[in-house]
Chain A
Amino acid sequence: QQQVKQSPQSLIVQKGGISIINCAYENTAFDYFPWYQQFPGKGPALLIAIRPDVSEKKEGRFTISFNKSAKQFSLHIMDSQPGDSATYFCAASFPSGNTPLVFGKGTRLSVIA
């Protein structure tokens, strides 16, 4: 049973365009929704995160949109650059301190010039 569903599996965007990755979750007990960026051979790095009491959070070119009623959240990368080419994972966690993140399956983003 996959608790966090991520789409698309892969994405090709032209330089300067907007990259959009979507995630849907099932468990309403989740209370923290981070996005991670991973380059080949490296561990995931936190990109941006949101709590369910906020509908949108923006940090630089990265924006999370959160729809609590639909149980969906998305990552928007504005003005996408070749350096953004990486794998992006959405995740969700429970309030308890000893529970792990629940990851989506990842989206491989390629930004082409």
Chain B
Amino acid sequence: GAVVSQHPSWVICKSGTSVKIECRSLDFQATTMFWYRQFPKQSLMLMATSNEGSKATYEQGVEKDKFLINHASLTLSTLTVTSAHPEDSSFYICSARSLDRGGYGYTFGSGTRLTVV
């Protein structure tokens, strides 16, 4: 089946630094990728939608200058948390969807636990 590889699984960084999270579709071309943020015991909160080769669409309230999303190829999307602060600590999850898989192929990465100290 479809596999989405997300790295790193966890990262600790100092306040003020930037962190990049990668999301790769391993066996299919992901025309659309989604980035979510999840707080403990809560549902997934959509941050942004990105389509290959175009700018990401951010959800209301998500700072696009803080959360930089790049979807330069059909197999790779990256989320960069810039100038991270403790309140950015969270669980970040990517999801990829490809119409190649019958139009219903939502596959999730394993998530990245970000801790900003």
Name A's B-contacting residues (CB within 8 A): 32, 34, 36, 41-46, 49, 89, 93, 95, 97-101, 103-106, 108
Contact = CB atoms under 8 A, between A and B. Distances in A.
A97 B99 contact: yes
A43 B23 CA distance: 12
Nearest to B111: A43
> Quick one: which of A34, A46, A97 has the most chain B CB within 10 A?
A97
Interface in B7-58: 31-32, 34, 41-44, 46, 49, 51
Interface stretch (B62-70, B76-84, B101-109): B101-109
A45 B43 contact: no
A27 B82 CA distance: 36
Chain B: number of interface residues, binned into ranges: 20 to 34
Given A99-B49, A100-B49, 15 more contacts: A34-B106, A36-B108, A41-B91, A41-B113, A43-B93, A43-B108, A43-B111, A44-B44, A45-B108, A49-B104, A89-B44, A97-B32, A97-B99, A100-B34, A101-B95
Interface of B: 6, 31-32, 34, 41-44, 46, 49, 51, 91, 93, 95, 97, 99, 103-104, 106-111, 113
Q: Interface on chain B toward A: helix, strand, loop, or mixed SS?
A: strand
A44 B97 contact: no
A98 B32 contact: yes
B43 A101 contact: no
A103 B108 contact: no
18 contacts: A34-B106, A36-B108, A41-B111, A41-B113, A43-B108, A43-B109, A44-B44, A44-B108, A46-B106, A89-B44, A93-B104, A97-B99, A97-B103, A100-B34, A100-B46, A100-B95, A101-B34, A106-B42
Nearest to B93: A43
Contacts of B43: 89, 103-106
A103 B99 contact: no
A32 to B, nearest CB: 5
B5 to A, nearest CB: 11
